[in-house]
Amino acid sequence: DAGVTQSPTHLIKTRGQQVTLRCSPKSGHDTVSWYQQALGQGPQFIFQYYEEEERQRGNFPDRFSGHQFPNYSSELNVNALLLGDSALYLCASSGWTSGALVATDTQYFGPGTRLTVL
């Protein structure tokens, strides 16, 4: 059973360019969340996609946008790149699993895409 996969592994862009990162969720999962992790910090939530719609969004500007496809895979797009966008971008997928009392949607992370903006 393949876990969460992300592509590319590494990416180098220059300021002002646009970038697209891709994520394939774990088999059986229908929800994808994106996080940004700057060097030395914990991951920060960008947004979450479910049923091809953005369901929740963190404190990130509109330059950050996403998409979810019918097969549940997802893309993260960042426009007008800034030096401060250099970070590890993480994708996490989740789906419903039944527990003893309530269902919980544990998020499983991919290996990340390392974006460097020069």
Partner 1 sequence: DAKTTQPTSMDCAEGRAANLPCNHSTISGNEYVYWYRQIHSQGPQYIIHGLKNNETNEMASLIITEDRKSSTLILPHATLRDTAVYYCIVRVAAGTASKLTFGTGTRLQVTL
Q: Which residues bind partner 1 (CB under 8 A)?
A: 4, 33, 35, 41-45, 48, 50, 55-56, 58, 88, 90, 92, 96, 101-112, 114
Burial class, 9, CB count within 10 angstroms (exposed 0-12 / middle 13-18 / buried 19+): exposed
The residue (of 11 and 45) whose beta carbon lies closer to partner 1 is 45
CB of 15 to partner 1, least distance (A): 24
Query: Strand, helix or coil at 11?
Result: strand
Token pair 């992300």 in the structure block, residue: 6
- 12 vs 80 by CB, closer to partner 1: 12
Q: Phi, psi at residue 12, to the nearest 5°?
A: -120, 130
Least CB distance to partner 1 at residue 114 (A): 8
